[in-house]
Chains A and B, each alone.
Chain A
Amino acid sequence: EPEVTQTPSHQVTQMGQEVILRCVPISNHLYFYWYRQILGQKVEFLVSFYNNEISEKSEIFDDQFSVERPDGSNFTLKIRSTKLEDSAMYFCASKPDLRDYNGKLFFGSGTQLSVL
């Protein structure tokens, strides 16, 4: 079965540094998402992306965050100046753009970001 691929699986960075988390969604999917899960807390929505633009974002997704689809396969999340509270597991997800689709999201295995 096709998979959403995320790299790296673990990322350690110093506070204030920029990080880029990478995702390769399933090839025929057109909706892309980032979610995160802080240790011990609920999975939280960050942003959705469709047709090369952000379609929805949460309060968490402030000016420090940005997303990009630099080519036909990658979907990235950039955090400009990381803070300790950005430490979390970040999940990428995707789904197709089909009229009769049931809405199921496909998630990647996540990138564990640790900000020191």
Chain B
Amino acid sequence: KQEVTQIPAALSVPEGENLVLNCSFTDSAIYNLQWFRQDPGKGLTSLLLIQSSQREQTSGRLNASLDKSSGRSTLYIAASQPGDSATYLCAVKPPDNAGNMLTFGGGTRLMVKP
């Protein structure tokens, strides 16, 4: 059974810092990995999606990497801003012949202080 873990559970940084969020998964047979942002009491906003054949994806100040063989992904946030404060979730999808459900990590709660 796939297990997804995110470390750290919470992170507080001063504005302007670059930071890295970590995601690890136990079963490397994945179809893709997605990073989401969740604001308190709100829904999930997809940030980046990496296919199993890809190594990284970039969107603005965000860069996500994937090392499928070691079961790890990182989300790099450059020049953090107070508006980046949120919970960041990663989720993996199994291969198509193994189902459609996403397995989520527990999230990293990020606080960027002005």
* A residues apposed to B, CB below 8 Å: 6, 31, 33, 35, 41-45, 48, 55-56, 58, 89, 91, 93, 102-110, 112
Contacts and interface: CB of A to CB of B under 8 A. Distances in A.
A109 B93 CA distance: 21
B100 A55 contact: yes
B32 A48 contact: no
Interface residues of B, number: 25
A10 to B, nearest CB: 9
Interface of B: 4, 31-32, 34, 36, 41-46, 49, 51, 89, 91, 93, 99-107
A89 B44 CA distance: 11
Given A42-B105, A42-B106, A43-B91, A110 B43 contact: yes
A40 to B, nearest CB: 9
A42 B93 contact: no
Given A42-B104, A43-B104, A104 B46 contact: yes
A52 B114 CA distance: 49
Contact of B89 (A43, A102, A110): A43
- The listed residue with most A CB atoms (<10 A of its CB), out of B41, B43, B46, B100, is B43
Name A's interface SS: strand
Contact of A103 (B32, B36, B106): B32
Contacts of A89: 41
Contacts of B42: 109-110
A91 B43 contact: yes
Given A43-B89, A104-B46, A107-B36, 17 more contacts: A35-B102, A42-B4, A42-B105, A43-B44, A48-B100, A89-B41, A91-B43, A91-B44, A102-B32, A105-B34, A105-B102, A106-B46, A107-B44, A107-B46, A108-B43, A110-B41, A110-B43
- The listed residue with most B CB atoms (<10 A of its CB), out of A6, A43, A48, is A43
A77 to B, nearest CB: 15
A56 B34 contact: no
A56 B49 contact: no
Nearest to A103: B32
